[in-house]
Amino acid sequence: MSDCIFCKILAGEIPCKKVYEDEDVLAFHDIHPLAQVHFMLIPKKHVESLAHCESVDQAILGKMLLLAPKLAKEQGLENGFRTMINTGRGGGQEVFHLHVHVFGGEKLPHM
């Protein structure tokens, strides 16, 4: 999608601080972190939200959720972390490309 900021990040048009990348998924640090560590995982396939996922998306959803604890540990979150998927405007979603937030550690002062 040409107007999707995450698709622009995937295309290399907008830089990001990458945590992980493979053929299906990109993980990068959030530019407005809520905690000491805050990154998100996005599928390379554009899917608007969790509500728009279909059975064909099951594997990528599982992959993202299984990557979350591995990457959280690599980012120093040894004592636990939170995951969050905002879905739709009413669910607080601001970027309409499916993404899983992973965050933990100290809360930042602006919270």
- Torsional sign, CA 69, 71, 73, 79: negative
Q: Which pLDDT belongs to residue 73?
A: 97
- 49, part of any domain: yes
Q: How many domains does the chain have?
A: 1
Rg of the chain in Å (alpha carbons)? 13
DSSP label at residue 88: S
Catalytic annotation, residues: 99
Kindly state the percentage of the chain with pLDDT values over 70: 95
Please determine, for residue 1, whether its predicted confidence score (pLDDT) is greater than 70: no
Per-residue confidence band for 2, with pLDDT thresholds at 50, 70 and 90: confident
Q: What is the CATH number of the domain that holds 14?
A: 3.30.428.10
Question: Quick one: average pLDDT of 25-52?
Answer: 97
Q: Which pLDDT belongs to residue 53?
A: 97
- 110, part of any domain: no
Q: Let me know: does 81 contact 69? Beta carbons within 8 Å.
A: yes
- 18, part of any domain: yes
- 109, part of any domain: no
pLDDT single digits (tens) 79-93 = 999 999 999 999 999
pLDDT single digits (tens) 42-71 = 999 999 999 999 999 999 999 999 999 999
3-state secondary structure of 58: helix
Please determine, for residue 111, whether its predicted confidence score (pLDDT) is greater than 70: no
Q: Which domain holds residue 88?
A: 5-104
Per-residue confidence band for 106, with pLDDT thresholds at 50, 70 and 90: confident
Q: From its phi and psi, is residue 38 left (phi > 0), alpha (psi between -120 and 50) or beta?
A: beta
